[in-house]
Every structure is written in structure tokens, then in C-alpha cells.
Amino acid sequence: MYIKILILISFFYSINEIIAQQAFNTTITEPKRQVIHDIKEDANSDFILVGRNENTDSEMYRGYVIKINTYGEMINDTIVNSEGVASIFFNVFSRNESYVVLGSIYDTTTSTNNQKLWFLKLDHDLNILETKILDLPEEKWISYTNAIIDSDGNYVLTGYTGEEVDNQTVTDPFYYKLSPSGDSITSSFPQEENFLARTYDIMEKSGHTGYYAFSSYLDEEENYGSMVALSNNFEVEEIMSIPMFSFNYYSPIRYGNSIIINTNGENDTSGEADLNVMKIDTNANLIDNRWVGKQGDTADYPSYTRGTSRVGLNAFYASGTANISESNPFYGNGIPNWILLGKYTSNLEEQWLKYYGGDAYYHVYSMTTTSDHGCAVVASRFDYENPETDRDIYVMKVNGDGIITWDQAIKPNNKAVTIYPNPGSHSIHIDTDTRSYTFRLYDAMGQQVLQTRNQKTIDVSRLEAGIYFYRVATAGKILTSGKWVKN
């Protein structure tokens, strides 16, 4: 009897946990070039996204901030706009009653390159509370930035700068530490011997003894990755090679004395470019690795800014872009691809691996574990059928099982759309006055099984009996969603 009660309690707890998890996907469309570099969840379970938005008339980028709720609905957005000033936002943090945004800013009205580091503090309505501008070395510009908050509450930034040398662009790593109020503490802009030297990530060492930076180098012969041990003042203590000739993007997370990174390299079995989810020790020695990628002749890369995120004590999510175009990674070559997302234990055991999309060209930028132990992923989406919108912003929130569909996140507007019969067996009918819409049907595991456009009667006779989830959307806005049962 005791065992039965325990099983029953566990069952209801699991059901309640699943019901409590929200899931959505939403597309933010504008006739502009727009990209989101980072996404974070705040204390109210809303999501803050930062990146850039290009004015198509002036071809000038402006820092862009978006706030959406737990259902994927837009709450607010703002473009930081000033005449003659360009800006890009790279990272965002939710701290107490404000959001801290890190980016770069420069005056386009002058002939010299005068780019600066930009620290902004925003309130929850996205109004600017405070800004600080910090100097960079002359004639250098920031190409990429990633940041963490260390155990002292300081912002520790890394990335790489660009500079014109002998009519060619040379990149070098940089490190910058800011106080919680945005004041400069220390910085370092080393010049490397390699033509292209790029640092993508940084993490704090244990014991408050410094940092590990994760870099990639290109010389005349090959690409290779390194883990660089730094002091608290960014003095280089040791440079260690990343195993297995893996390089580019790392997203390190720590489990005890081991570090997990999500990088990429050539799969030693298939010969394909795949994600190399790797466990190393603090001397960069290989402990274990797992190749992750879509079967077939595809190139699969980790997410651009953040490709891992810890969930609970002994698991993590890993994300990337499947079937990326290596010649044109941001717009593709006319072939649709997928968002790759998997869940793994700290021992690299796979819990699940799923692919989302296949209807357009996606490029995954960042991800974050959510308070309900699900995962939110942000990507760009380029639709070849509607190229006039350029790249859209695509946000996907899945639950802990990787399921993207739901039956309660958004209540159906029955006056706008009616789905019948439900339950049904041979066909689904859509009653709506909306002229242009897309209908998608997903199975219980969140895999899309059917998609139609502007079709009033849909043949479902070939589907197996069971529970499905539907969504009707137009222009990136969800008209209705819910559960449909096939007898």
C-alpha cells in the first residue's frame, strides 16, 4: 500500500510539473535586418533579448532590446536611437530591479574609428536608467563579446577586436572587467602572432584565483583551440590546447573539477563537421566527448553566443545549428535547416536530442535554462519565400522533455478560429475569416507531423490514433492553439 501511494504521489507530481511548464515558439518579423545575440529570463519569468536592428535606409545598426512574456507574447521593445550613432548589444543580465546590457557604440560622423564599450542599465519598462561609455584602444573595433558575472559581482567580458593592418583585418582577443556599477577595473588587449586570434568565452576559476578564457587561432596551416589560464588581472599564466583539434565557440560550464564545452570539429567517425560536446579537466586534458549532429552530409555548429546551459545539479542543455551553410552561415544557400537541441547528464549521457524547424534557414545564437527547468533558444530565421523581411527573430521555449507544443499557454480565440471535429478521425476543418494562415500539427513528443497553408479541410486519415497539438498562426502571430484527439 505504501509503495502504491508513493507511486501515485510521484505520478501526480510529474503531471503537475509538466502542466506548470510553459512552451511556445514565436517569430518577430520586421522589414529590417535584425539579430538577437543573447536571451535571459528575469525574476517574473519574462524574457529579455538584446541584439541589433538595422535601419535599411541608413544601413546603420542600433542596439535592440525586446521583452516577451512566458507565453511568447511581446511586452515591449526599444531601439536605442541617436543621430549619427551606431550601436550593438551583445549581452544582458537581469539583476534585482533592472537589466544590465553590454554592447558597443561609435560615432559614424567622424572619419576615424572611435568605437567604445557601452554599459547600460534599464528598468523593467526598458527605460534607460544609467549609461557609461568606456574606452578602447584607438583604431580597434569590437567584433564579438561574451560576458559573465564573477563571484565578486563584477562583469568580466571577453571577445575579439578587429583592426586594419596592411589592408587586411587582423583580430586579437581582449579582456575587460567592470564593477557592478559599470566602472572600469582592469582590461587587457594583447596582440597575438596569429593572423586571426579570437576569444569566445570566459569562466571563473575555482577559489577566486582568476579565469579561463577559450580561444581559437588561425595560422597558415590550421585552426586550433586553446584554454588560456589568466590571473585576476588578466595576466596569461598558461596556454593549453583544446583536445581533438576542436575550435570555435565553447560555452563552458563547470561540474566539480571538470569543464564541459560545446565546440565543433571533424567527427572522427563520419568525417562530418559536428558539435563536439566535450568534458575536460582544468588542464584541458580530455575526459570524454560526444559527437552531436544530424545524420547525413550536414555541417552542424554550436550556437553563436551561448551553446550550453546547466539544468539542475547534474544535467545541461546543448544547442546548435544543424545543416549550417559554411559558405554563408547567416543566410544559407537556399536549403532549409534545423535548430538542434539536446539534454545531457554531466557524464555526457544523452537524455534526448531533437531538431526543430526544417521550414526555413535558421542560425542559432543563444539559449538559457528557464526557472521551470525548460529551455529557451533564440535564433535568426530567413524565409526564402518571403525574402523581403530579411532575417526574422525566432524564439523557442521547450519544456524539460524538449516538447514545444502546449495545450494551455495561449487560450484559443474561438470567435477567430474554430477547429472541428475534436475528437476526429479522417479530417480536420478550420473555420476562420483570416485569409492567410498556417496550420501545424504536432505529435505528443513535439515533432511536427503536418503543415498546411490556407487550407480549410485537412486530411488526417493516415495519422495514428492518439493525442496531437495544433497551432494556427498568421504573420508570426498565433491565432489559436490546443489539443486535438484522433480516434
Least confident of 51-60, 391-400, 462-471: 51-60
Residues 162-189 have pLDDT tens digits of: 877 777 778 899 999 999 999 999 999 9
Mean pLDDT of the chain: 86
C-alpha cell at 470: 495544433
478 pLDDT above the threshold of 80 = no
Tens of pLDDT, residue by residue over 349-388, are: 999 999 999 888 999 999 999 999 999 999 999 877 666 5
Alpha carbons 91 and 145: distance in angstroms, whole number:
8
Sheet with 116-122, strands from edge to edge, namely 85-95, 98-107, 116-122, 128-134
Q: Could you tell me the CA-to-CA distances from 181 to 101, 185, 208 in Å, in that order?
A: 12, 11, 20
Query: In Å, what is the CA distance from 447 to each residue of 82, 302, 341, 380, 451?
Result: 44, 22, 13, 20, 11
Question: Quick check: 408 pLDDT over 60?
Answer: no
pLDDT at 7: 33
Query: Given this model, what pLDDT does residue 412 score?
Result: 32
User: Which domains are assigned to the chain?
Assistant: 22-398 (2.130.10.10), 417-486 (2.60.40.10)
Tell how far CA 90 is from the center of its chain: 12
CA-to-CA distance for 483 and 487, rounded, in angstroms? 13
The closest of 313, 369, 361, 314 to 341, measured between CA atoms, is: 369
* 220-260 residue pLDDT tens: 666 789 999 999 999 999 999 999 988 789 999 999 999 99
The predicted-structure confidence for 308-330, as pLDDT tens digits, reads as follows 999 999 999 999 999 999 889 88
> Beta strand pairing status for 33-41 and 47-55?
antiparallel
Who wins on pLDDT, 353 or 84? Answer: 353
Cα angle value 178/257/203 (rounded, 5°): 20
User: What cell was used for 385?
Assistant: 519565400
Query: What pLDDT does 111 receive?
Result: 62
State the pLDDT confidence band at 84, using cuts at 50, 70 and 90: confident
Mean pLDDT computed over 115-125: 94
- In the predicted structure, residue 416 carries a pLDDT above the cut 70: no
Based on its alpha-carbon atoms, the radius of gyration of the chain, rounded to whole angstroms, reads 23
